[in-house]
Amino acid sequence: MGKTSRDYTEAVSVCELDRTTMSVLEIGDGDLVSLETIDGEVVVRARLGRGLEPGMGFIPAGPYANVIISADTWESGMPDFKGVRAKVFKAAGSRVFSIKELVAKMLEE
């Protein structure tokens, strides 16, 4: 399928959230959300996750996650994928960029 296919994009452009967090933030399954960290911001689709503690989220490794994590590897060769603090906002009126658009935007910065 390839890393720019629709199936791959749909698989990695999501953030799983627990039911409590989604309820408090009034976010529905499939709604657009903006994830903001100290390292960046990205818009993805919310998805109800299973087994997540309230206040926790999960975004699959891929280009959308890469936007919001630090490239620093602390000499280990791997960036910190866990424990990243993020703010989650409804992103109505926004859209999920395609992977090509996302990469082009990253190269501009």
Query: Is residue 96 a part of any domain in this protein?
Result: yes
Between residues 23 and 92, which one has the greater pLDDT?
23
CA-to-CA distance for 66 and 52, rounded, in angstroms? 21
pLDDT, tens digit, 9 for 90 and up, residues 6-55 = 899 999 999 999 999 999 999 999 999 999 999 999 999 999 998 999 99
- Domain CATH for 43: 2.40.40.20
Range of the domain at 72: 6-108
> Number of structural domains, the chain?
1
Q: What is the DSSP letter of 4?
A: T
* pTM recorded for the entire structure: 0.87
Amino acid identity at 56: M
Backbone dihedral region for residue 50 (phi beyond 0: left; psi -120 to 50: alpha; all else: beta): beta
Whether residue 1 is contained in a domain is answered as no
